[in-house]
Amino acid sequence: MQFQQIRGATVKLNFAGTSFLIDPFFAPKDAYPPLSACHHPNLRWPTAELPLPTQEIVKDVDAVIITHLHPDHLDEFAIKALPKNLPIFAQDETDAEVIRQLGFADVRVLSYDGTDFNQVKLTRIDCLHGHPETTQKYYDMMNLRGTASGIIFSAPNEPVFYLAGDTIWFDKVAQAIEKYQPQIIALNAADAQFTDSWSIIMNEADILKVVQAAPKAKIVITHMDAVPHAMLTRQDVKKMVAKYNLSAQILIPEDGEILSLR
C-alpha cells in the first residue's frame, strides 16, 4: 500500500490497486478566521498550504471516504473540486444524506460488518472525538456532530490497515487493534483541543498506548500542523520518538510525502 500525506487529516491511499482520497480539506492557507474557543484564538487556518494542486490530488481517485463532517475533513473548497459522480463513503446515513444534498450522486454508507469496494473491505470503527461532557458544548456551538469514525482496510495480499480517525484512546480503539491485528495504523495525533475540552484527538500519551497495544505495527502520525486548535506538532512527536527510541516503528510524513508500506 501507498500512504500519501496531503495535509492535516487529508490522505491519498492506494490500497490493493484502488485509490482512496480520505477527508478532503482543500482550503488555501489562512482561508478561515480563527477559532475563538481554542488556545490559539488569533490563528487563521489552515495553517499550511496544500503541497499539491487540487487537480493533482483528485486525479485518478476511485472513491472518497469522509470519516465525519467537520470542516477540516470536508470543506467548501473540496466540495467544489470533487467530481459529483465519484463514489463517496460516509460513516452513517445521517452524514450520507448531508453529502447527497451537496450534489454527490453516489453516496454509500460504511458498515461495522464491512463494506466492499473493488477488492477492498472497509470496516467502520467507532471514535471518541473527545469526552462528550467537555466537548459537546463546543460541537453544539459550531452546529457539528461529535460522532466520528475510523476504518479498517483489508484485502488479499495487503497489510491490514487501521485508519484510527479523529479519536482519543478508548476501549473501541483497543478492541479494534486486538481484533484486527493491523500491521499499519494511522493516528490523527495533533492533540487538538478547545479551551477547556481536553484532547479531542490523540496526544503523546495516547500514541504511546497504541505503541504498547500494537508493538509490531508501523504507526503513521497524521493530522499534523494544519489546524489552529492543535497542541502537538510534528517536531514534538519527533522529540518523543527520539526519547523512547521509537524511530523504527513510528513514521511522521511531511505534507506531500509518500510512504510505501507492507
Tens-digit pLDDT profile for residues 183-240? 999 999 999 999 999 999 999 999 999 999 999 999 999 999 999 999 999 999 999 9
110's grid cell: 460504511
pLDDT given for residue 29 in this prediction: 98
Cα separation of the two ends of the chain:
6
Residue 122 pLDDT class (50, 70, 90 cuts): very high
pTM (predicted TM-score) = 0.98
Residue 90 pLDDT class (50, 70, 90 cuts): very high
Q: What are phi and psi of 165, to 5 degrees?
A: 80, -170
Q: How many CB atoms lie within 10 A of CB 133?
A: 9
The strand pairing partners of 13, in sequence order, are 3, 20
What CA–CA distance (Å, rounded) separates 96 from 94? 5
Q: What is the mean pLDDT of residues 105-115?
A: 98
What does CATH list as the number for 2-260?
3.60.15.10
Chain mean pLDDT for the chain: 98
200's grid cell: 479531542
Amino acid at 231: M
What is the domain partition of the chain in residue ranges? Answer: 2-260
Q: Tell me whether strands 120-126 and 149-154 are parallel, antiparallel or unpaired.
A: antiparallel
Whether 99 and 107 have beta carbons less than 8 Å apart is answered as yes
Residue 253 pLDDT class (50, 70, 90 cuts): very high
pLDDT tens for 53-87 read: 999 999 999 999 999 999 999 999 999 999 999 99
pLDDT given for residue 40 in this prediction: 94
Percent of the chain scored above 70 by pLDDT?
Answer: 100
Of residues 24, 158, 179, the one with CA closest to residue 104: 24
pLDDT given for residue 262 in this prediction: 87
pLDDT tens for 148-159 read: 999 999 999 999
Percent of the chain scored above 90 by pLDDT?
Answer: 100
Number of separate helices (H) and strands (E) present in the chain: 7, 14
Q: What is the mean pLDDT of residues 136-154?
A: 97
Rounded alpha-carbon distances, angstroms, from residue 43 to 23, 37, 84, 87, 201: 22, 11, 32, 34, 19
131's grid cell: 469526552
